[in-house]
């Protein structure tokens, strides 16, 4: 069976086609600059040359049509016709409290995705646009929604509730939801395999460090806590997002800088994080390079970034009463061994001891714990698309005759 995985953002469409018989990737690509002049599609078919296609301007519907045309192209496509694709999996960022699992998309599901526009204004509208464009072009196959929020639905109220008047939860659904669910799910299950223990018996702290970053505490197969909250702004310091902040700063800054609610939202999401502190870049490679050249604000950004991760490790070790392993993943977690080293330094009292030499590896599955460390220190490359493809296959099988 073949599954197409689609991740539609406000100005991009990412896709992968999987052959689910062996879970190999037949083709993948990224259409960038959707909705603005100068759309660019980079398509990578397995075993063939990469192809770049440029177009003047494409909306999401035309963009999706271009992607499907490329997939079926006689020269660089990966299927002869769309009939070969058995199901489509769509990444959906916010499923509110309704979805604790992936789901076959029908009108009721789309209604819920729409109801979450208010709390995920950057993500859910393009996600739904992608779903509708794809459904119109591929009406005969099941479309499955895989939610970033679903994995965290096992959290209990003392971890997901804010200390706000209870009415704000009942009326506006203000609570912590958590994001990056497919990534945490994937690496936590892989970690259990590496530990040689059933997942349901493990205590795991997953640390996803990329452009967006989040952490998760998992015990006995249930998510206990996660660092992102009502939106993906809470928690760790990120490329351009501030993470945890005294809420009083928000209205103080609105006053001082004369910002309205949209502008402060943009400020905290796009101008803060390591970019805001360093003034150099949101990209961790640039920050590391600038810090190495002696830039004091880049050095400070690195320290704040690592310090926040350390603080969450302490928080989660307390909540889990210790853990079997820390798992590092995503762009920075998989590649930035100097960052992993700073995070794991000086925590031997907590049972965390690393082998500094073993840690000096990029993008590979490793355990860099010292032999006498009580906590295993794992690096596991994430694969969110594969989780979406597997879930899509599982749900689609129930609908196919």
Nearer to ligand AMP, 256 or 362 (CB): 362
Q: Would you call 118 a catalytic residue per the annotation?
A: no
What is the nearest approach in angstroms of ligand AMP to the Cβ of residue 173? 27
- Rounded CA-CA distance 189/366 in Å is 15
Question: Footprint of ligand AMP on this chain (CB under 6 A)?
Answer: 210-211, 239, 283-285, 288, 330-332, 335-336, 362
Catalytic residue of the set 148, 225, 324, 383: 148
What is the nearest approach in angstroms of ligand AMP to the Cβ of residue 107? 33
What is the nearest approach in angstroms of ligand AMP to the Cβ of residue 276? 14
Nearer to ligand AMP, 135 or 281 (CB): 281
What is the nearest approach in angstroms of ligand AMP to the Cβ of residue 309? 14
Nearer to ligand AMP, 285 or 360 (CB): 285
CB-based contact 168:204 (threshold 8 Å): no
What is the nearest approach in angstroms of ligand AMP to the Cβ of residue 297? 17
Nearer to ligand AMP, 130 or 336 (CB): 336
DSSP secondary structure string for all residues of 280-299: S-SSHHHHHHHHHTT-HHHH
Residue 17 has which token pair?
A: 């086609």
CB-neighbour burial class of residue 350 (10 A; exposed 0-12, middle 13-18, buried 19+): middle
CB-based contact 379:368 (threshold 8 Å): yes
What is the nearest approach in angstroms of ligand AMP to the Cβ of residue 275? 10
Nearer to ligand AMP, 25 or 141 (CB): 25
Nearer to ligand AMP, 11 or 61 (CB): 11
Q: How many residues does the structure list for the chain?
A: 401
- Residue showing tokens 């990534």: 183
CB-neighbour burial class of residue 324 (10 A; exposed 0-12, middle 13-18, buried 19+): buried
Termini Cα distance of the chain = 13
CB-based contact 3:15 (threshold 8 Å): no
- Rounded CA-CA distance 386/69 in Å is 23
CB atoms within 10 A of CB 112: 19
Helix (H), strand (E) at residue 334: helix 330-335
CB-based contact 101:86 (threshold 8 Å): no
CB-based contact 85:17 (threshold 8 Å): yes
CB atoms within 10 A of CB 7: 22
Q: What number of CA atoms fall less than 13 Å from residue 68's CA on the CB side?
A: 20
Q: Which residues are catalytic?
A: 148
């Amino acid at each position: 069976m073949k599954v197409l995985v689609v991740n539609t953002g406000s100005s991009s469409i990412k896709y992968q086609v999987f052959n689910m018989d062996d879970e190999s990737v037949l083709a993948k690509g990224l259409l960038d600059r959707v909705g603005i002049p100068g759309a660019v599609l980079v398509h990578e078919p397995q075993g063939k040359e990469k192809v770049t296609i440029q177009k003047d301007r494409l909306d999401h519907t035309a963009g999706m049509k271009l992607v499907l045309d490329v997939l079926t192209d006689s020269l660089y496509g990966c299927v002869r016709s769309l009939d070969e694709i058995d199901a489509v999996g769509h990444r959906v960022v916010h499923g509110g409290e309704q979805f604790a699992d992936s789901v076959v998309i029908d009108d009721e599901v789309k209604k819920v995705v729409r109801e979450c526009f208010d709390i995920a204004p950057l993500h859910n509208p393009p996600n739904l646009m992608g779903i509708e464009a794809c459904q119109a072009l591929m009406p005969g196959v099941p479309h499955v929604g895989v939610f970033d929020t679903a994995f965290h639905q096992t959290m209990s109220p003392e971890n997901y509730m804010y200390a706000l008047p209870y009415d704000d939860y009942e009326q506006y659904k203000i609570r912590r939801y958590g994001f990056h669910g497919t990534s945490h799910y994937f690496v936590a299950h892989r970690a259990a395999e590496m530990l040689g223990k059933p997942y349901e018996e493990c205590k795991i702290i997953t640390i996803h460090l990329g452009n967006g970053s989040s952490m998760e505490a998992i015990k006995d197969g249930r998510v206990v806590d996660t660092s992102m909250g009502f939106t993906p702004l809470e928690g760790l310091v990120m490329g351009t997002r501030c993470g945890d902040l005294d809420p009083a700063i928000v209205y103080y800054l609105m006053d001082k800088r004369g910002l309205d609610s949209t502008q402060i939202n943009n400020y905290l999401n796009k101008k803060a994080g390591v970019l805001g502190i360093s003034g150099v870049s949101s990209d961790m490679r640039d920050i590391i390079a600038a810090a190495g050249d002696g830039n004091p604000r880049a050095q400070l950004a690195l320290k704040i970034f690592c310090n926040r991760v350390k603080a969450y490790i302490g928080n989660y070790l307390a909540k889990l009463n210790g853990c079997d392993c820390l798992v590092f993943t995503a762009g920075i977690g998989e590649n930035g061994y100097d960052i992993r080293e700073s995070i794991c330094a000086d925590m031997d009292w907590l049972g965390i001891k690393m082998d500094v030499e073993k840690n000096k590896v990029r993008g590979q599955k490793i355990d860099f714990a010292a032999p006498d460390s009580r906590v295993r220190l794992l690096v596991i490359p994430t694969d969110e698309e594969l989780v979406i493809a597997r879930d899509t296959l599982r749900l689609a099988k129930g609908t196919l005759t």
